[in-house]
Copies of this chain bind each other. A is one copy, B any other.
Amino acid sequence: MKSEIEVFREFTRKKGLRNTPERETIIKEIFATHDHFDVDELYLRLKNKKKKISKPSIYRLIPHLLESGLIQEAYFEDGHFHYEHIYGHEHHCHLRCLRCGKTIEFQEKPLEKLEGKLAEEYDFSVTGHKLEVFGFCPQCKVDPHVAKVEDAGDPRRQR
């Protein structure tokens, strides 16, 4: 199987883009852990490793990573998107706690069938889907007054 770096090289070649060490550094960091990430976190992770990558370079790369299928948007929270690398992974969906943000990944079968049905019924060319299931995790449903896990920042949405 091709590495994510090779996939991106092919993508740039095909699209007339250019590959750079900065971009490969970012991609490597994205695939270094399985964590979801946002731009700021990614920027700080790189900074901590003494990689001098500017935020605009990250912002500029993200649309290409989405288009090349290396990453996808995982969810929108705290005023910005959180992403995850998906190349080399099975498609999965998220079950999220509305209170503490705890996220569980799960596979779903029924949706493959649904895509086909929708494609036929509405004459769409279906390329994918995004399913989020919301609720309260075991801790949060039992004791809704306990301190929030992610405290210091309410799950308030802002830009």
Contacts and interface: CB of A to CB of B under 8 A. Distances in A.
A104 interface: yes
A7 interface: no
Contacts of A108: 114
Contacts of A138: 122-124
Interface string A98-132: 10000010101011011100110111111111111
A103 to B, nearest CB: 11
A31 interface: no
A125 B130 contact: no
Contacts of A53: none
A85 to B, nearest CB: 19
A151 B126 CA distance: 22
A132 B130 contact: yes
B141 A134 contact: no
B125 A135 contact: yes
Contact of A95 (B118, B132, B137): B118
A116 B115 CA distance: 21
A127 B135 contact: yes
B124 A95 contact: yes
A124 B96 CA distance: 9
